Amino acid sequence: MRKKGLAAAAVIAALMSTASYAQDDFSKVEIQTQKLADTVYMMTGSGGNLGLSAGEDAVFLIDDQFAPLTPKIEAAIAKVTDKPVRFVLNTHWHFDHTGGNENLGKAGGIIIAHENVRKRLSSEGFIEFLGMKTSPSPRIALPMVTFSRDLTFHVNGDEVFVLYAPKAHTDGDAIVHFKKSNVVHTGDTFFNKMYPFIDTSSGGTVEGMIRAADLVLRLADDDTKIIPGHGPLGNKADLQAYRDMLADVSARVRRLVRQGKTLDQTVAAKPTAKFDEEWGKGFLAPEKFVAMLYGNLKR
């Protein structure tokens, strides 16, 4: 999600229920790196999970969290390789995934994203569910290379397929498949072990989220390592459980909407009840998740 600095994180923290979004001091954030394959890594800090491919050809980074964390991210990458970041792929436009674009662009990184990401980053925006206005990003922070459907990189001995997931978390989501390494980065189409945020005002839909999960499930096998946008490293079984939860809860909320129930009545019906113990302790509290789905399905 895209605003600059601590104010944006504070707004999210006020609305969301997980401590990882309540960071008011990025100096306390530590970037953790987990090796997943010969040249592919998952990195965590504050904001969206990062993917990293580092090898003979280049450093390829997926997402870049918040601007104040760029030096820490660069320091963590330097422990893996002495090469600078050459490619930065944004999985979507939200500022907890693109906040470092300006810093990395100034350092010579080539930013790549779906064409809708550039459109949203280059204009004023409004994330309706969060009541948050966003300002246009400077030119250097905008994707230099955009795609409308899919894209392929041949880098570090791997084929890296970038797949467009339409109308999912937003209208510009990318899923990244490292074929040889058997790793997939889902961006925010997958929140592992927590209820996901769907940005309806940015073109996101719960149906698109389910389709995105189905896409990755077709790509994955039991050994595939799946980097979610948020949450711990996952596997095919984790993604299947997430997909089933989304389908079940959204079907329950859809029935209530069709019955003419109000938002308060829908929340009171507790359509997430059987999932709350496992999924309801993270990014969105159950009642917030239901309210989000209600607004999404009403549209």
Q: What confidence tens digit (pLDDT) does each residue in 111-132 have?
A: 999 999 999 999 999 999 999 9
Model confidence at 3: pLDDT above 50: no
How long, in residues, is the chain? Answer: 299
Pairing of strands 158-165, 173-178: antiparallel
As a whole number of angstroms, the distance between CA 199 and CA 107 comes to: 30
- Residue 259: CB partners within 8 Å, gap ≥ 6? none
Residues 241/194/46/295 CA torsion (nearest 10 deg): 110
Comparing C-alpha atoms, which of 64, 69, 78, 75 is closest to residue 141?
A: 64
pLDDT at 126: 93
Residue type, 89: L
Model confidence at 233: pLDDT above 50: yes
Average pLDDT, the chain: 93
Q: What confidence tens digit (pLDDT) does each residue in 258-271 have?
A: 999 999 999 999 99
Identify the bridge partners of residue 85 per DSSP, sorted by sequence position. Answer: 59
Structure tokens at 205: 């839909």
Average pLDDT, stretch 242-270? 98
As a whole number of angstroms, the distance between CA 198 and CA 129 comes to: 9
Reported confidence tier of residue 25, pLDDT bands at 50, 70, 90: confident
> What domains can you pick out in the chain, each with its CATH number?
5-235 (3.60.15.10)
As a whole number of angstroms, the distance between CA 14 and CA 7 comes to: 11
Reported confidence tier of residue 10, pLDDT bands at 50, 70, 90: very low
Residue type, 23: Q
pLDDT at 299: 87
The percent of residues in the chain predicted with pLDDT above 90, rounded, is 91
**pTM of the predicted structure, to 2 decimals:** 0.93
pLDDT at 259: 98
Q: What confidence tens digit (pLDDT) does each residue in 62-90 have?
A: 999 999 999 999 999 999 999 999 999 99
The percent of residues in the chain predicted with pLDDT above 70, rounded, is 92
Comparing C-alpha atoms, which of 242, 292, 250, 299 is closest to residue 272?
A: 250
Quick check: 113 and 174 in contact, CB under 8 A?
yes
Higher pLDDT, 148 or 23: 148
Average pLDDT, stretch 130-152? 97
